[in-house]
Structure 1
Amino acid sequence: MILRPIALFAALGAMAALVPSSASAQTSCGPREQLVKLLADQYKEDPVGMGLAQPGQVLEVFASSSGSWTMVITLPDGKACMIAAGDNWEMVTKIKGNPV
């Protein structure tokens, strides 16, 4: 659904006013605490996976039981940026000895 990412970008744009950042990143970045709260409150998304991207950067995937998902990158200064969002999230687990 195309409206979900647009609404999320708009909400993040409002949050961006609180964090000094480059002009190109203002519409999709903000304090991590506020982004996590927005994803939980508005989309019922919780963290389902995380990993290190580059030194000091954490990549997280948030997903809901209804299938919506959001990818977020958090920088060492605590600023988080939404980098992707969508629907139909499915958890895939690897069983030892069997390829996914």
Structure 2
Amino acid sequence: MTRTFLKMTLGATTLAFMATQSMAQAANCAPHDVVVQRLAAGYGESRQSIGVGANNTVVEVFASLETGSWTITVTAAGGLTCMVASGEAFQVMAEGLPNTDSPA
């Protein structure tokens, strides 16, 4: 009886933890057009770069060249976009490859 109760308690705790994680993640996710609109209206950010990530996700960097705020988003195949990182002091860089002819 004690073993069954322990298993049920552990299962319920695991489900509660998973639900909490899902709700926290969902708070940072929305349809792509909604995220783009919020970043533009709230922070003056526009898309600065885009690429394809793991599992065919689309990774985008949004930034405001005026304020320096930036946000990285990941969009899944179904169209749900999640904000995964943000910060300040965005700068546009165009660095070339390092010189590989000289020894380090």
1:72 pairs with 2:94: no
Amino acid at match of 1:26: A
1:5-24 correspondence runs (5 A): 22-24=22-24
What is the TM-score with the length of structure 2 in the denominator?
0.68
Cα deviation for residue 24 of structure 1 reads 4.0
Q: List alignment gaps of at least 5 residues for structure 1.
A: 1-21
Are 1:56 and 2:53 counterparts? no
Structure 2, gaps ≥5 residues long: 1-21, 99-104
Counterpart secondary structure, 1:36: helix
Q: Percent identity?
A: 34
Q: Which structure would you say has the larger Rg?
A: 2
Tell me, in whole angstroms, the C-alpha distance in 1 between the residues paired with 2:34 and 2:62: 14
Cα distance in structure 2, aligned partners of 1:45 and 1:67: 9
CA distance in structure 1 between the aligned counterparts of 2:24 and 2:86, rounded to whole angstroms: 18
Mapped partners of 1:94, 1:48: distance in 2: 16
Aligned residues: CA RMSD: 1.3
Map residues 84-99 of structure 1 onto 2, 5 A cutoff: 84-95=85-96, 98-99=97-98
Aligned residues: 76
| Residue 9 (structure 2) aligns with | none
- Normalized against structure 1, the TM-score is what? 0.70
Deviation per residue, 1:27-81 (Å, 9 max, x gap): 1111110000000111110011111111320110000011000000000000000
